[in-house]
């Protein structure tokens, strides 16, 4: 089932429009709505910025690395959605320059831009050349803006059962660690926003799912992980005539349910015995992060991992296509509105961390700034932060936002100085996400929910 909602959400059917008019809440302002045009494009950066000069082999869909862009225009204002098959769109000054360039060239507010990485953990070398990444972002937007056509927009939701909460008690140590916890919150919703041309063919898709792309972490090869595979699967289903952007939902505490193949690759590289059973990811990862000399990868283990990442992407992609096929009501006369702000919370600095599951020692630190925003496209709401929120923060935001069609897009628009954003109740668990967070409890959880909710209400008023 979809996440539980604390209140009834607004859907723009005739009855709700009448009720909202009586309440004085007019969602569609005729002066700001207009005929929608959309353009989409992508730029291949698979060979960009690698220190060893070795791009991915491209035997699998996830071995392609792209910058993608969708440009929206209703005649009154524009919005831009950028997706990157990267761990992050960083450093911060690169994001700032990219956003300023796009806003200036298209004549639009910076607040109307959502620039998001898929957060794959196996394309870090790309970031060694941020100038080329910056150029690719600007080029993708320019290409999309040069190919605008009349369009309609729709929204739908499906479910994918690939993710799981990763905060759990280790049965050997009795302390919190990173592993699979099927009893803790995990949102299975795959949210899909799609744009169609006048013939009903898709121009672009915008996917949102809460699962860390960590399958290939420390694997030693380049991959856009399941997220890139999902995007390619959808694009290839339509003969590469459309663009698909994958974005991260609130997944600070969400991992893939099945990590065995990726852990096996790490195990071989660290000299850990592979038995066929699942290995504890955090333990194997810790060895590679430590002083263990890395051993050569096992080609068979690499191949098993690559096949699994492709398979995960196919599952997500097929569900996205199913949702797009049955999307129903579309709108071609739309309103676009956006806002963003900086949420400032008290900070802390980690002095010492003993081991997994133990609390850290802290001193007061500088305040932490989290960039938060909201983009409305007719009755669709995209709430975003530049941080990595826990799942329940995203679910609570979507329950409070007064629109029926919502998604929360994380790690967007620059690099935060916060680390993870745990729920307030998670601070006693002492997982690595909590211990490493620069945030003191009691501010960011409620602050993010209130900020995006307030901006959503401003949009509909």
95 CB-near residues (< 8 Å, 6+ apart): 89, 115, 413, 414, 415
Q: How confident is the model at residue 101 (pLDDT cuts 50, 70, 90)?
A: very high
Query: What is the enclosing helix (H) or strand (E) of 228?
Result: helix 225-237
Structural element, H or E, at residue 447: helix 444-460
C-alpha 40/C-alpha 67 separation (Å) is 11
CA 327 – CA 120 distance, rounded (Å)? 28
Distance CA(303)–CA(313), nearest Å, equals 16
Taking residues 244-267, report their average pLDDT: 97
Would you state the structure tokens that stand for residue 356, as one six-digit string? 């997994």
Residue showing tokens 């669709």: 380
25 — phi, psi (to 5°)?
Answer: -105, 95
Angle at the Cα of 71 from the Cα atoms of 66 and 77, rounded to 5 degrees: 155
CA distances from 394 to 93, 210, 356, 391 (A): 27, 9, 26, 5
Q: Is 244 in contact with 207 (CB distance < 8 Å)?
A: yes
Q: Are 66 and 44 in contact (CB under 8 A)?
A: yes
Mean pLDDT of 372-386: 97
Taking the CA atoms of the chain, what radius of gyration do you get in angstroms? 21
Cα gap 434→440, rounded to integer Å: 10
| CB-based contact 206:157 (threshold 8 Å) | no
- Report how far residue 401's alpha carbon sits from residue 456's, in angstroms, rounded to the nearest whole number: 6
The pLDDT value given to residue 29: 39
Q: Under a CB-based contact definition with an 8 Å cutoff, are residues 379 and 10 in contact? A: yes
| Higher per-residue pLDDT: 48 or 434 | 434
Q: Do β-strands 34-35 and 333-334 pair in parallel, antiparallel, or remain unpaired?
A: antiparallel
Distance CA 421, CA 385 (A): 10
User: The dihedral of CA 376, 447, 370, 83: what is its sign?
Assistant: negative
Would you say how long the chain is, in residues? 461
Phi, psi (5° rounding) for residue 370?
Answer: -120, 125
Whole-model pTM? Answer: 0.92
Q: 408 has which bridge partners?
A: 383
Are 327 and 205 contacting, i.e. CB atoms less than 8 angstroms apart? no
Residues 68-95: pLDDT tens digits?
A: 999 999 999 999 999 999 988 888 899 9
Q: What pLDDT does 90 receive?
A: 80
Q: How do residues 186-212 score in pLDDT, each as one tens digit?
A: 999 999 999 999 999 999 999 999 999
φ, ψ of residue 285 in degrees (nearest 5): -60, -40
113 contacts: CB under 8 Å, gap ≥ 6:
79, 80, 81, 82, 99, 102, 103, 413
Closest CA to 39 of 195, 136, 155, 145: 145
The confidence band for 51, taking pLDDT boundaries of 50, 70 and 90, is low
DSSP one-letter string for 42-105: EEE-TTSS-TT------SSGGG--EEEEEEEE-SS-EEEEEEESSS-S-SHHHHHHHHHHHHHH
Residue in this structure with the two tokens 């429009």, named with its chain if needed: 17
| Residue 118 and residue 412 in contact, taking contact as beta carbons nearer than 8 Å | no
Asked if residue 65 lies in contact with residue 85, where contact means CB atoms within 8 angstroms, the answer is yes
Render pLDDT for 112-130 as a digit per residue (tens, 0 to 9).
999 999 999 987 666 657 8
Residues with Cβ < 8 Å from 289, sequence gap 6 or more? 218
Q: Rounded distance, CA 193 to CA 170, Å?
A: 39
Query: Residue 357 — very low, low, confident or very high, per pLDDT cuts 50/70/90?
Result: confident
What pLDDT score does 312 carry? 98
């Amino acid at each position: 089932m979809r996440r539980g909602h604390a209140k009834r959400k607004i859907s723009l059917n005739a009855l709700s429009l009448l009720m909202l008019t009586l309440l004085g809440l007019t969602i569609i302002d005729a002066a700001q709505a207009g005929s929608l045009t959309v353009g989409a494009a992508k730029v291949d950066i698979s060979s960009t910025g690698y220190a060893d000069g070795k791009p991915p082999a491209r035997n699998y869909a996830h071995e392609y690395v792209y910058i993608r862009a969708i440009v929206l225009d209703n005649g009154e204002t524009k919005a831009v959605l950028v997706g990157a098959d990267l761990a992050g769109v960083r450093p911060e000054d690169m994001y700032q320059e990219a956003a300023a360039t796009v806003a200036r060239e298209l004549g639009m507010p910076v607040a109307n831009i959502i620039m998001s990485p898929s957060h794959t953990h196996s394309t870090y070398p790309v970031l060694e050349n941020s100038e080329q990444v910056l150029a690719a972002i600007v080029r993708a937007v320019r290409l999309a803006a040069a190919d605008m056509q009349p369009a309609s927009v729709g929204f739908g939701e499906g479910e994918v059962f690939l993710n799981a909460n990763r905060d759990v008690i280790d049965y050997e140590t009795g302390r919190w660690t990173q592993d699979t916890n099927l009893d803790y919150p995990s949102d299975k919703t795959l949210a899909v926003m799609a744009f169609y041309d006048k013939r009903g063919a898709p121009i672009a898709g915008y996917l949102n799912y809460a699962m860390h792309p960590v399958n290939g972490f420390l694997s030693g090869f380049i991959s856009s992980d399941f997220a890139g595979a999902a995007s390619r699967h959808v694009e290839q289903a339509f003969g590469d005539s459309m663009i698909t952007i994958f974005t991260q939902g609130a997944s600070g505490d969400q991992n893939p349910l099945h990590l065995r193949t990726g852990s096996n690759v790490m195990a071989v590289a660290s000299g850990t015995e592979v038995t066929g059973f699942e290995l504890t990811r955090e333990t194997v990862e810790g060895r590679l992060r430590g002083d263990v000399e890395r051993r050569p990868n096992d080609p068979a283990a690499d191949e098993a991992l690559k096949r699994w990442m492709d398979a995960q992407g196919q599952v997500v992609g097929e569900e996205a296509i199913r949702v797009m096929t049955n999307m129903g009501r579309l709108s071609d006369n739309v309103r676009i509105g956006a806002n963003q702000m900086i949420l400032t919370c008290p900070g802390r600095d980690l002095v010492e961390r003993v081991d997994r599951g133990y609390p850290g020692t802290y001193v007061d630190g500088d305040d932490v700034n989290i960039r938060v925003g909201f983009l409305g496209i007719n009755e669709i709401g995209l709430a975003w932060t530049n941080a990595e929120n826990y799942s329940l923060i995203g679910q609570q935001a979507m329950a409070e936002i007064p629109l029926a069609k919502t998604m929360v897009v994380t790690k967007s628009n620059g690099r935060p100085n916060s680390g993870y954003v745990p729920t307030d109740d998670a601070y006693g668990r002492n997982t690595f996400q909590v211990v490493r967070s620069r945030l003191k409890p009691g501010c960011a959880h409620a602050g993010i929910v209130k900020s995006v909710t307030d901006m959503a209400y401003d949009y509909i008023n």
